[in-house]
Each structure stands twice: as structure tokens, then as C-alpha cells.
Structure 1
Amino acid sequence: MPTSSTARPTTPPTLWAARGRHVGSAAEDTVRHTLERLKDSHAVDDFLELPEEAPDDRAAGPGPRIFEARWKAPGAVTVRARLILAPGSAGGQEWTLLAEAEEAWEAAWPSPATMFWPDDPDVTWDRDVATGLRLRGINTLPDDDKAVRRLLKESGRSPWNIHVVVHEAMTPDHRGRMPLADRLPPGLRHLVVEHRAAPQQLRVVNWALEDFGVQVPRGGAVVLPGTPAPPDYAADEYSVRSVFLDGSVPTDLIAAVTAFAALPRPLPDGAEDALTALREDWRLLTLEEELDRERKLVAMYAEALEAMTQSRDLYREAAERATEALAAYRESAEAAPAGPPPSTTEAPTPLRALTRTLDRFRTARAPRPEAVRRDTAHPSPDPGD
């Protein structure tokens, strides 16, 4: 079983997150045209392309491109989404997409990916970053055993998308070649990578998956936990014993994928920063949001001004008290008799000098002990005696 990290924050129920790679050209133009088309058809309320920021290291190339979009999910639930495009390490451009709704995310809602990318199989934006495989199709495992083990280990460590391994008990016809993505709820279609193992590959597949604590039943399927695994992941609950590849709906497999997607999974590396930027650096504001932000700024400035005013008054009061204390010290120092010269073995300091002066001042003002005892032993005669 992969190591589970409870220290990592988990995905909030309002969040939809995915990462992929666009392997074609002109990814920015594709996103821009899709948003313009959907805005014209009122599927998207509004969108914004943020100005490109110069990177700190000019040798690293251009900075990422960021698009923001806002739309309404069924029930008039507002969804805010942010797409980040950056050059990919394996070519093309990698994209990170986070969408957050005002309520808990529903799998039946439209996929946020289709708000930025065209839902066209010929546009190659749907590549998994970890494996390079497609999100919307069937990915047949390679023939070489070493390549199978390497691919499945990479899939098992992938934390962003959901990887599903299906074993074909026998080679299916065209009816069994329908991708699982086509049967999933819309909100899950662009999160799942489907791997297909041939009938003779069951042993090598299960050998590769031993490290993740899962196994594929013969003629069945399993949802890989990812790394780190969700805290509530149990392999038996996300393993399906039979998947009939005869054109019928794989109800049990769809239920397993849907349940796994609903788990509070640990946020992958980079997702926490992207979520913070989505929430705190959001630029696409409505008029009401602009007014609310200005009111909050005015209130913040008023509080800061009040704090500065209070600090100034406290400083002034402290300065006045310090001046009074200094004047009293000078008066007491002038009234005190001259004391013995300072010791040659101890270097005088301002603090010691002040302490000695105050001690002399208290000694000069206090009555002598001999006078107190004399007055007590021989009281003054009463004028009436």
C-alpha cells in the first residue's frame, strides 16, 4: 500500500482539480477561442486572461499564462476556475486546472475541462502528465513486460488523475472497445486514465501492482490509489470482480470510480499553491464583488489609521511621562548631598549612578533612626503640665 500522508491537506468537497498536457501547438489560442465561444453562447458568464508576468529568471523562458472563468452550475451555483499553462518538460504545454464551486461538487455537473478546452477528440490537450496517455480513450498496455511494469508503477504514483486498470478476460469486439470515460458522469470524464490489459497480461499486471497493495481480478478492474493514498482507501472497495466488455454499462466499475473520486484525497504537489492563488488572487470580479472589495479596503485603511492614531497618542503620553520623570530626577539629584567618590575598582555606569543618586535622595529625606529612638524615650513635655 502506498504511503499515506495525513499531514497533507486534502481536497475540499467544493474542489475539482486536474492536470494534463497539450501536445499540439497554439494551446493559448485554443483556450482563448473556446472561452470566447462559450461566453457568446452564455455557457460561461465571463472570463479573463491575466497579463503575462515576467519570470524571475529570463533564461528560463516565458512565464505561465493564466486564464480565469466563471459560470453557473445547475441550481445557479457559481463556479470559479483557473487554468495555468506552462511549458512542459516533455514538450508541449502542461496545464493545471482548478475549479471551486460555492457548494459541494457534483459529478453530474459539466466538466470544467470543457470550459477551457474543446470537447473534440482531434484536439490533443488530454494527455496525462505522468504517463503521457489519453484521458478520454482506452490505453492498451504495451506488449513488453518491463514496459508494462514501468508504466503501471508510474500510474500508481500519479496523484493528479484517477488510473483504472481493466483486465480483458477475452479479446473484446467493437462493443467492448467503448472507453470508460464515455460512460462516466460528465464531471469525471476528464479525470480518468483507463488502462486495458490483454488476457495473457494478468500476471505481470498484478506483479507490478504489488507495491500499491492492489490486485486486478481476472476479467475485472481496480482503481489505483495514487501516491499518497487517500486515508479512507480500501483496496477491496475499489476492486470490481467482473467487467463485461459486451457493450453493457459497467455499473459496478462506474460506482467504484465515482466513490473514489468523492474521497478526500491528499492534495498533489503544486495543488495547494494553485488553490491558494484561486482563492486569494482571483481577478475576475463582478461589480458587486468589486464594491465589496473596496468596502473592505476602506475598512482596513480606517482600522490602520485608528491604530496609528492610538500609537501616536500612546507615544506622546509616554514621552510626557518620561519628561516628568527626568525633571523629578534632576530636582532630586540637585537636592541630594554629595556622596563619596565612586570606587576605583568598579567602573560607574549611568544606571548605577542613577541608583546611587536615588538612594542618597531617599536617605536625605528619611528621619535618622537615633532621632526616632530619642523622641520615643523622652517625649516632649505637655504644655498643660
Structure 2
Amino acid sequence: MAKNTTSANPVPDTAWLARGRHLGPEPERDVRRNLIALKAAGVVDDFLELEPAEAARSTVLHPRDESADPGPSARRVFEARWQPTEGITVRGQLTTYDPGGRRKSDDAVSWTLVAEAERAWDLEWASPATVFWPDTETVLWDHDATGDVWLRAANMLPEDDDELRRHLRDCARDSWFLHVVVHEAMTPDAVGQWTLTRFLPPGLRHRVVEHRASPQQAQIADFAVKREFDVRLPRGGAVVLPVVPGQQGYEAERFTLRSVFLDGSEPVELTSAIKELAALPRPLGPEAEAALTRLRQGWHLLTPDEELVHAQQMVSRYAEALDAMTKSRDLYKDAADAAQAALAEAGGGDAAPAAPLPGGSERPDASPLGGLTKAFGKLWGPGSK
């Protein structure tokens, strides 16, 4: 069975999460160009590009948290703000990573993308992936981070039986995407080979990975999903896999399709099942939770109103800090005066107050406790009983 990575915190219904790998030479250039074009077209209200070090040390709206730091392997942080519908704002943050520390020309660049709306996410809204990445097949940004599969293609399962089982297990084990397995009853024509995810609404299209089993893989694919996920794959049908084993609200019968026609028509039952699974609660894994925290606590692209609120919050914080410092100074002064009086009384009134050091500063050892200790030393003296 796939590893159960349940979390006490579910993914908020306002959030959109994805991660993958870019296999092209200049991922940041692709993002930059797309954001510039969308801002010029009025699709994006504004965007911002930051160096990771700049993002980590910038002042933000909320108190800093370690999980708001993009990390040492981060390359760039992009932020964008847009309105998918009138009066609703979405904030998105894409971070590119170089896990190896120094990228070679043929290495992939990992990325995470988190977007959050001001209300529950509507699947008819545009995909945040196409806000940051160009919506073209010539830019290879849509490779899954946990397996050798693509988001915008029908991925054929490996021919080797052991590799097939391992492939499905690895793809679904820490994936941020939903996975569906389709069995081809017979080899489809060119139109039937197109991915079925193209029929999904825009807000779900880049959150689903489609796996295809060839006609001769009926038994082994059924055995693999039965062993790893405790579901069945009908011959010529499909199954939408649970996000984790035992997912709350998941019933295998509801997400198993007996027949799927690969003739270019929309598989309505399958797309409905995928949308139903997407609506179920799903666990927010540690990495996804950290990415969501970075979006919320490490946000830099402020509107004028947010900048005003931010400035007011900073003024309030500085005032509180100054007030605390003043109170601390007054308390210390009162304690020092009390200690000086006790010292004078212990010396019978003959002890003169210690002269302050130049500049009005006290000697390093002239603390109230030190004064009392010396006073009692004089009273008892050497040889006293």
C-alpha cells in the first residue's frame, strides 16, 4: 500500500497547490515573459520577482516564521495578483528550486506554486499554472516532481510489471496531484490518445495526472491498483485513485468507471468523478503546508491599502517596543534608587553616594544587588559571628 501521509490539517478550500519540474533551459525567463505579457493584457494586476535572499530578509505583514523562508536551494520567487472574477483577488507565489545547489544545463528545475483566493476556489477560474507558465506545449514546465509523468499528456504505464507497480506507488505517494488510471480496451486512434484531462474545468486541468494502461496490461494494472490502493481497474474502464489510502469520503465504487470511450468525446462520468474527488477533504502534507505558510507570511506584493495597514502595524509595534523599553528603564532606576538608599542606611548615613562615571553611566558592577552585598559585608565584617 502507498504510504499514508495523513495530516491533521486539510487543504483549505481557498488554496490551489501544485509542484513540478521544468525541463527547459530558462525557467525563470519563461515565467517572467508570461507575467509581463499577462500584465500588459490586463489579466494580471501586478507581479513581483525577488531573489531568495531578498525575499527572506524583507519585512512582511505578519511576524516572521522559519517556514516563510524559501530555503537555501531556492533560485527565484515570483508573486502575482489577479482577479479571476469581479471583486475576488487571488494571490499566487511560484518558487523555483535547484536541489543540487548548482544546476547543469541538462538538469530539471523544481518549482512549487501556491495560490489562495479570498473565497472558496471555483474550478471555472483560470489555472494559476497558466498565470505563471506559458500555456503552450513548447515550454516543458509540466513534468511531475515525483515521477516520470506529465500533466498535459496521457502517460503510458511502464511495460515491466514490477516497474509498473513501483511507478504507480511512487507517483501517488507524495504527489500533490490527483491520479487517474485508464485502461485502453483497444489501441485508440490519434484523437483517442489525447489526454482526457483537457475536458476538465480550467481550475482542475493542471492538478490531474492521467495514466494509461495498454490493452495487454489489463490484468497487471488491475493487480497493481488493487495491491497499492485497494481499488479495481475494469477492462476498458478507469479508476480515480484516492489521494491517500483510506481517504475520508472515498468509496471505490463511486470512483470506478466500467467503460470509458477513447474516441475524442468527453467522458462525462469520469470528469464528474474527478471533480467529486477534488472536492473531498485531503491532507495538507508538510511540504505543502510550508509552501502555504510562505504565501501567507512571506507575501511582498502589497496593494496601496495593504501598504498603509503594514505601515500602521509597524508604527504600532515600534510604539509598543519603545513603551516596553521606557518601563524597563524606569523599573531599573527605581531599583537602583532603593539599593542606594539601603546602602546609605546600612552605613549609618556616613557612606557617601558613589560618584557616577563620566557621561552619567554607572560602573559595570554598580547593580542594586552588588550594592546590597557590599553593604552587608561592611556590617558583618571579618571575624564577625
Q: TM-score, normalised by structure 1?
A: 0.78
Shift of residue 145 of structure 1? Answer: 2.1
Within a 5 Å distance, the mapping from 1:1-385 to structure 2 comes to 2-53=2-53, 63-87=74-98, 91-209=107-225, 210-227=227-244, 230-325=247-342
The SS at the match of 1:302 is helix
Q: Which amino acid aligns with 1:313?
A: D
Q: Is the 8 A contact 1:45 1:71 kept in 2?
A: yes
Q: Which amino acid aligns with 1:188?
A: L
Q: Which amino acid aligns with 2:81?
A: R
Shift of residue 110 of structure 1? Answer: 0.3
Over the matched positions of the two proteins, sequence identity in percent amounts to: 49
Runs of 5+ unmatched residues, structure 1? 55-59, 333-349, 358-385
Q: Is the 8 A contact 1:168 1:219 kept in 2?
A: yes
Q: Is the 8 A contact 1:85 1:94 kept in 2?
A: yes
Distance in 2 (alpha carbons) for counterparts of 1:132 and 1:2: 17
Q: Which amino acid aligns with 2:92?
A: A
Distance in 2 (alpha carbons) for counterparts of 1:228 and 1:321: 68
CA RMSD of the aligned region, Å? 2.9
Provide closer, same or farther for how the CA distance between residues 228 and 216 of structure 1 changes in structure 2, counting only shifts above 3 A: closer
RCO greater where, 1 or 2, for CA within 8 Å and sep 6 or more?
A: 2
Distance in 2 (alpha carbons) for counterparts of 1:28 and 1:130: 21
Greater CA drift, 108-117 or 299-308: 299-308
Q: Which amino acid aligns with 1:156?
A: A
The SS at the match of 2:328 is helix
Distance in 2 (alpha carbons) for counterparts of 1:284 and 1:229: 39
Q: Which amino acid aligns with 1:84?
A: T
How many residues end up aligned between the 2 structures?
334
The SS at the match of 1:163 is strand
The SS at the match of 2:323 is helix
Shift of residue 32 of structure 1? Answer: 0.7
Q: Is the 8 A contact 2:243 2:282 kept in 1?
A: no
Provide closer, same or farther for how the CA distance between residues 128 and 7 of structure 1 changes in structure 2, counting only shifts above 3 A: closer
State the partner residue of 1:343: none
Shift of residue 227 of structure 1? Answer: 4.5
Distance in 2 (alpha carbons) for counterparts of 1:158 and 1:137: 20
Q: Is the 8 A contact 1:2 1:213 kept in 2?
A: no
Task: Give CA-to-partner distance per residue, 1:242-277, whole Å, 9 cap, x none.
Answer: 223233321221122112222332223422222111
Q: Is the 8 A contact 2:6 2:244 kept in 1?
A: no
